[in-house]
Amino acid sequence: MKRFRRIWIGAFIAVAAMTAAPAAGALAASTPAAPAAAHPAAHGTALKPAGNPAGCGTAHFCSYKQGNGGSICYNTPNSISSWSTACRTVDSVYNNGAAAAVRLYYNTGYGGAWYCLGNGKYLLHMTANTFNQGSGRAGYGQPMANHVKSSGLGGACS
């Protein structure tokens, strides 16, 4: 009798395990997976877009009226001593290999404070950037968005 009871208990456990496994599998399949964790921004900066701002020619400097590379205004391989009034309302810029660096100036004629934009670099929303070079010159520490008046191609940023 003990032997029969052991066999019966063993069979019961086996049957219970077989029926529980599909139920657990069905439960897992119906429960949505947790979303993959987003990669945190490095050092508190915004995440970069999937690619560089669009529409900028190779070896060109480009400026955009909208943040994140929208509504291109300048697409040029040259320095510009006086930006047109229409292109001064800029919110993003990209140095697509125009030079080792592009200096963005507060005044026309490459005057006043400037910001140095290295080769292959871009600013997606310039409201957060200031003219940070040329201490003591006009525009130093001022916000860049809507205030760039000239751009000069040249040597590397120091």
pTM for the whole structure: 0.66
Report the CATH number at residue 112: 2.60.20.10
Which residue type occupies 17?
A
Does the residue 120 lie in any domain?
Answer: yes
Domain containing 115 equals 57-154
Average of pLDDT values for 102-107?
A: 96
List 96's β-bridge partners, or say none: 60
Q: Is residue 51 very low, low, confident or very high in pLDDT (cuts 50, 70, 90)?
A: low
Identity of the residue numbered 82: S
| Residue 24 forms part of a structural domain | no
Question: Mean of the pLDDT values across residues 28-39?
Answer: 31
Query: For 14, which DSSP code?
Result: H
Give whole-number Cα distances, 42 to 46, 58, 117, in Å: 8, 28, 20
Q: How many CA atoms lie within 13 A of 114 on its CB side?
A: 19
Domain count, the chain: 1
Highest mean pLDDT of the ranges 11-15, 29-33, 44-48: 11-15
- Listed in sequence order, the DSSP H helices in the chain are 2-30
In a domain, 128, yes or no: yes
Contact in structure between 61 and 101 (CB atoms under 8 Å) = no
Structure tokens at 57: 């020619």
pLDDT at 26: 33
**Average pLDDT estimate for 7-21:** 43
* Angle, alpha carbons 83-89-92 (nearest 5°): 95
Asked, for residue 84, whether it belongs to a domain, the answer is yes
* DSSP state string for 121-148: -EES-GGG-B--BSTTSTTTT-B-TTT-
